[in-house]
Amino acid sequence: MSQTQHAATDAQSATAARAAMAAGHLTAVAYLEACLERIAASEGSVRAFAAIDLPAARRAAEAADRQGRPGLLGGIPVGVKDVIETAALMTGHGSPIWAGFRPRGDAASVALMRAGGGYVLGKTVTTEFASRHPGATANPWNLAHTPGGSSQGSAAGVAAGFFPVAFGTQTAGSILRPAAFCGVTGYKPSFGTIHRGGMKVMSENLDTIGAIGRCLADCALLVAAASGRGELPPGPAGSAPRIRVTPGPAAALLSQETRALLADVAARLSAAGATVVDARLPPAVLAAAEAQPIVMSGETAQALAWEFAEAAAQLSPGMRTNLAAGAALAPGVLDAARHMMAMAGAAYLDWMEGSDLVLTAAAPGEAPEGLGWTGDPACNVLWTALHGPCASLPAGFGPKGLPLGIQLVGRLGADAAFLEAAQWVEAKLRWPA
C-alpha cells in the first residue's frame, strides 16, 4: 500500500458482518471498533465525514448488541449523505448557508434505516447541494484524486472502511460515479423507491436516494430497510442473464481503458454463460439524455429559490450561474423536457423487452486528478433519466492504479429481478479476482 493509499480492501461487508454476528463470532461493538480504528488512521487524509458523534455511535452499537441486533441491518453502522436530515447530527447540505443546521427529526429514509436495526455513524461530505462544487473529500486510492461526487464522503468512506454502507443520492451520476471512482459498489434503485421526506430534493423528477456499499448485497440491505421492506432482497439469479452492451450516449468520452474494460467484461460474462449482445440505443430512448439537463436545471433553480433570493453571496459562482440559467428557462421548455423524459422512459421499457440488463460504462475512466472537479456524469445521465435501477460494480484498474467500474441498468420497478441478475454478474466479476 502506497503512502497515500487509504483504501481498505479487506474491510468486512455488512452482509458478512451480519452473518458473523448471527454465528456468534462478532458483536456490533467489535465491528464498530474496527471501523473506528480505520477512521482514526485515515479520516484526517480522506475527510469523508461532515459530522460524527463517536460516543453516540458506541452507545448505538452497545444497544444493538444488548437487544440481539434485530432487523435487516441490526448492528450495522451507516453513513448518511449530508443532504439527508438527521435529528442527532447537523445537516449542512454542503453549503455555508446551512452550516450547523440541526433538523428536528430524522428523514424518512434514516428513520426507516434505524427501524431496520442500523444506526447513524456520521454524516458524509456532499458537494454543494449535491451539485458540482466539491467538498474536501479525497479518493482513498490516491489522495491527489477526486473521489467523484456528489456522494463523495459516502463513496470514499466505504472505500476506506469507515462504514460498510452509506446513503447516497443521484440526480445525474452522484451515486454511481463516485462508487466507480472509489472502487466500491453503487446502487440507485428505481425512481421513487425510497421516500425523500427530509432530504433536500433538487430535482423532483430525478433525485433518487440509494446506497453505496462494499457489494450489491450491502446496498440492497440498506435500500430494503430504508424503503420499509422487512424482507431480505434476493441473492444472485440461478440462470444467466440476457445482457445488452452499449457504450451509451457518452461513447466519445470513454477512455481507451474503459472501452477495453467493457469489452473484457462482456467477453467474461459471455464465457460464463450470459447471453451478451451489442445493442444500439434508439433515438426515442436517447432523448432522455437531452431532456435530463433541462429538467435538472429548471427544477434545481426552483429548489434553491430561497437560497438564491436570500443568500446568493454564499453560493458558489458556478451554482449562481446555473441557478440563473435554470430560472430563466421558459416554462414550456421545462414542461416539454419532463414530457420527453417520460416518453423516453416508456420507449426504454419497450426496447428492453427480452433482456435483463444493460451493460455500459460507469464513468469515462479513472477518477480525475485534483479535488476541484468531481468528474463527468455523462455515463450516468441517460439512465438516471430513464428512472430504472442502476448499479456500478468495481471491475478493474486503470493505468494510474485507480479503480474502474462498469454500470448495469434494469427496468423501472423491477428491482428484485435487477438485483438477481446484477448479483449474477457481480459473482462472475468477483473483484479483486
Binding site for a second copy (CB under 8 A): 87, 97-98, 101, 104-108, 110-112, 114-115, 192, 195-198, 200-202, 204-205, 227-231, 298-299, 301-310, 327, 331, 335, 338-339, 413
Shortest CB 219 distance to a second copy, Å = 17
174 is catalytic: yes
In the bound state with a second copy, the residue whose beta carbon lies nearer, of 232 and 271, is 232
Shortest CB 203 distance to a second copy, Å = 9
Shortest CB 377 distance to a second copy, Å = 21
150 is catalytic: yes
In the bound state with a second copy, the residue whose beta carbon lies nearer, of 105 and 399, is 105
One of 81, 123, 188, 200 is an active-site residue; which one?
81
For residues 360 and 258, what is the distance between their CA atoms, to the nearest angstrom? 10
One of 13, 174, 297, 316 is an active-site residue; which one?
174
In the bound state with a second copy, the residue whose beta carbon lies nearer, of 61 and 107, is 107
In the bound state with a second copy, the residue whose beta carbon lies nearer, of 297 and 360, is 297
Shortest CB 109 distance to a second copy, Å = 8
Shortest CB 249 distance to a second copy, Å = 25
One of 150, 190, 203, 392 is an active-site residue; which one?
150
In the bound state with a second copy, the residue whose beta carbon lies nearer, of 97 and 265, is 97
297 is catalytic: no
Which residues are part of the catalytic machinery? 81, 150, 174
